[in-house]
Amino acid sequence: MAEMLKLRPFQEPRNATHDAWDRLAAQLATDSKNTDPNSEIRRTGAACCSQFDKLLAAHRKEETQSLQKTGSNEQINEHIQNMTDLVALVDDFTSEKVEMSKKAQKKENIERISALEMCDAGMRGLVDSNMLTDLGQLEDATVQEKQGQRKRGPTQSDKENIPIKRPRDQNVIVNALQQCQIEDEKLLNEARACDEAHHQQLISGIDRLTGTIDALVNISKVQLECNAPNRISNDYCLFLYPLFLPLHFHIIFIDFFASFLFFYVNLMPN
């Protein structure tokens, strides 16, 4: 029974039970041979399983002690305690199997009902999801089952105050046009600033030219006054004439330059 408590082949899954009992039989033969080579226990796994079932049935009937024909009281008591522990383990394992079987049966029934509901909903169209069976609420539901039943997103009729989104291609075109418009406005502002600076330079040059012309006019007045016969002698006028002669050509050049600037400013685009 010590090997039985150690290996516990009865707790193995159904597809591994045969191999578990074979391992128990091999371990039992090895231990018995090491204890006494003349009393080696050679049994198959199936025979060990059958014998174990008989011992369990006898222990439940409290016949374990009567079946022990050899051994001391301590060995008999140890054997009885081992059988009691094994019976408890077997009963617990059996209860767990029954409970798992009930859960599996319940889940299978719920899945069957859910499949029928989904089939009916698929034929009728849209239905209220709250009226359907949700497999994700099960205790041992998988990730696929929790994600399988998703809620439908809101329709456009539910978004009365939200504008309809434009297609992605249209958004790209609109963004490109807006970017071009921003760049054009930037270039236009720079051109206006340059034009304004050039216009201010022209006005400043005209102002300086006007001041020069005024100075020349004043000099011309002085020259005319010098040519008056009643106020200045001829010798003095002859002395000043070579000084003012270059100014006469200067006035002609300034007058020509002023006319050129006047026409240039008027012909420039705004």
pLDDT tens profile 170-225: 677 888 888 888 998 999 999 888 888 888 888 887 878 787 777 777 777 777 77
Is there a contact between 40 and 27 (Cβ–Cβ < 8 Å)?
no
Span 244-262, average pLDDT: 56
Span 137-152, average pLDDT: 61
Q: How far apart are CA 57 and CA 185, in angstroms?
A: 99
Angstrom CA distances, 124 to 113, 115, 128, stand at 17, 14, 11
Greater confidence (89 vs 269) lies with: 89
* pLDDT band at residue 162 under the 50/70/90 scheme: low
- Of 248, 246, 260, 251, which Cα lies nearest the Cα of 205? 260
Angle at the Cα of 17 from the Cα atoms of 37 and 44, rounded to 5 degrees: 30
- Tokens coding 220: 């011309």
pTM: 0.35
pLDDT of residue 50: 81
Coil/strand/helix, residue 61: coil
